Amino acid sequence: MELAHQKEIASQFSLVQENERKQIAKLLHDEIGNKLNIMFLWVTNEEAWSDERSRSIIAELMPKLIETTRNLSHSLYPSSLENFGLILSLEDLIAHVDGQLNVLINITGLYIPRDIAFEVQIYRIIQEFLTNVIKHAQASHMWIQLRDTDFYFSLVLSDNGIGFDSRGIEKGMGINNMESRLNSIQARWKWKTKADGGTRLLVLIPKK
């Protein structure tokens, strides 16, 4: 049974990686490749380059390309985890959220840093939940609550959005990715959500 469980975790994690590759490929094509093509046409066209409006558009595109490239690099691997740890990396993540969503983080107890593999999974779970809130929840607030004790590590993610009926909706890629990551760190979790009642993800990881 243990061997079958490990195989299931490996299979789920492989699916998560494949989904992430698809998302990165789409981002490279749609957000970076297309903008670079437009800029190349303008830059190599003497008439367009001499036009003030064209130069203004190029100047507007450059910061967007830089930001998209930064986000893509961060999505491939959050290097800030190695340099600054989980808590500061989460604060950096929420600092770049659009002002329409207010994200609050609360930490109970002194967080003891874990190995990088564990922290990457926790970071990705929170990042995926945040992405889902922004895309689908129509929420104004999201809360991240971390508790670290001698016996367990817990994480509660919640929002005040529209929620969903967990009995009547098929889990999307984002939720499946989170659950695969939770399996990989042997966490226990529970979803609490209902239409127009927000969504909560409760995670408990006992310490051995």
Would the pTM count as exceeding 0.75? no
| Count of CB atoms situated within 10 Å of the CB of 134 | 18
pLDDT over 50 at 162, yes or no: yes
* Structure confidence by residue, pLDDT tens digits, 56-103: 777 777 887 877 777 676 666 677 788 889 999 999 889 888 778 999
* Contact assessment for residue 83 and residue 58, using Cβ atoms and an 8 Å cutoff: no
Q: Which helix (H) or strand (E) holds 182?
A: helix 173-184
Its CATH architecture, for the domain 80-206, is 2-Layer Sandwich (3.30)
* Contact assessment for residue 182 and residue 125, using Cβ atoms and an 8 Å cutoff: yes
Q: What are the residue ranges spanned by the domains of the chain?
A: 2-76, 80-206
